[in-house]
Amino acid sequence: MIKIIDHVTLTIGDLERSRKFYTEILGEPTSSDDEHSCFKLDNGLFCIALPPKQGYTNDRFDENRIGLDHLAFGVENITSLKELERKIRKLNVMTSGIEVVYGNKHKLTFRDPDNIQVEFFLR
Dump pLDDT digits (tens) for 75-85.
999 999 999 99
Total domains in the fold of the chain = 2
In a domain, 62, yes or no: no
Q: Is residue 77 part of a domain?
A: yes
Residue 63 lies in a domain: no
Give yes or no: residues 80 and 44 share one domain: no
Q: Which of 77, 80, 107, 78 minimizes the C-alpha distance to 95?
A: 107
* Structural domain containing residue 36: 1-52
Q: Is position 46 within any domain?
A: yes
Q: Does a structural domain hold residue 30?
A: yes
Per-residue pLDDT of 33-71, as tens digits, reads 999 999 999 889 999 999 888 767 777 788 877 788 899
Q: How many percent of the chain have pLDDT more than 70?
A: 99
**CATH label of the domain that carries residue 14:** 3.30.720.120
C-alpha distances out from residue 65 to 60, 68, 119, Å: 11, 8, 19
Residue 60 lies in a domain: no
Same domain, 1 and 46: yes
Please state, as a whole number, how many other Cβ atoms lie within 10 Å of the Cβ of residue 62.
Answer: 9
Which has more confidence, 67 or 30? 30
pLDDT of residue 55: 67
